[in-house]
Amino acid sequence: MKTKPSPSQVASFKKNGALLLKQIYNETTFTKLAQSLPVSSKPGSRIFDLSGIIGDWVLRNDGLSSLANAFSGKLLRPVRVLAFNKTPQSNWAVPWHQDRVVALKQRVNNIGFENWTLKQEIHHAEPPLELMKEMLTLRLHLDPCDSHNGPLKVIHGSHHLGRLTDNQVRTLANEHSPTVYEVEAGDVLILKTSIIHASDKASTPRQRRVLHVDFAPDTLRDDLAWALDIPEIETSQ
């Protein structure tokens, strides 16, 4: 990591719910990470094993976890890891939406955790609003992505509105102009997880690899546990 957040960056992030950090990592270091990302014809791949190269990028001293903690001001841990690669063979659009589920080891009829589902045999639920407000998402870009390659677009400030219905999300998207984030390899886009976001199909599709990590406070009630395990790794890098 080349920089630590300045007070103005932290203030901007808290206000807008999104901030692009330019050239945080050197593109020449991506080879092993790119080789470790799962290949899928679907829009995204869920990653539940952080024992290898991907985990190293998330957990090491200069990894994404340290960056998330620096912006949060609190100790967070990774709770969901996804890999995206928009290509000519796998080119998709994501409608305006709000990420509002977390992955847990077991289902518990717990006040505040609602709308339980199973995805790849992992329990998911919508967490209490207080937990959602603490969550951050970091997107490490391994390739350039311009306006022709389906970049992420967000509604600044929408994370202040709490949990929204699908109709409220659509209304909000119709009433506000989005901010479109064009990026270079090595950039990190940091988001409040609950911000309203979308992405169009690429009009000129080419490889667009992204490592997407959601972060949340480690502490849950004793009868709940995060689905994503965190291994012990070397942190000297």
Higher pLDDT, 44 or 148: 148
CA gap 100, 169 in Å, rounded: 12
What residue segments make up the domains of the chain, in order of their start? 7-217
Residue 213 CA, distance from chain mean position? 4
Provide the pLDDT for residue 145.
Answer: 95
Residues 85-113 have a mean pLDDT of 90
Average pLDDT, rounded, for the chain: 91
pLDDT at residue 167 tops 60: yes
Confidence band for 234, pLDDT divided at 50, 70 and 90: very low
What is the reported pTM?
0.93
Residues 6-38: tens digit of each pLDDT: 999 999 999 999 999 999 998 888 888 988 888
**CATH code for the domain defined by 7-217:** 2.60.120.620
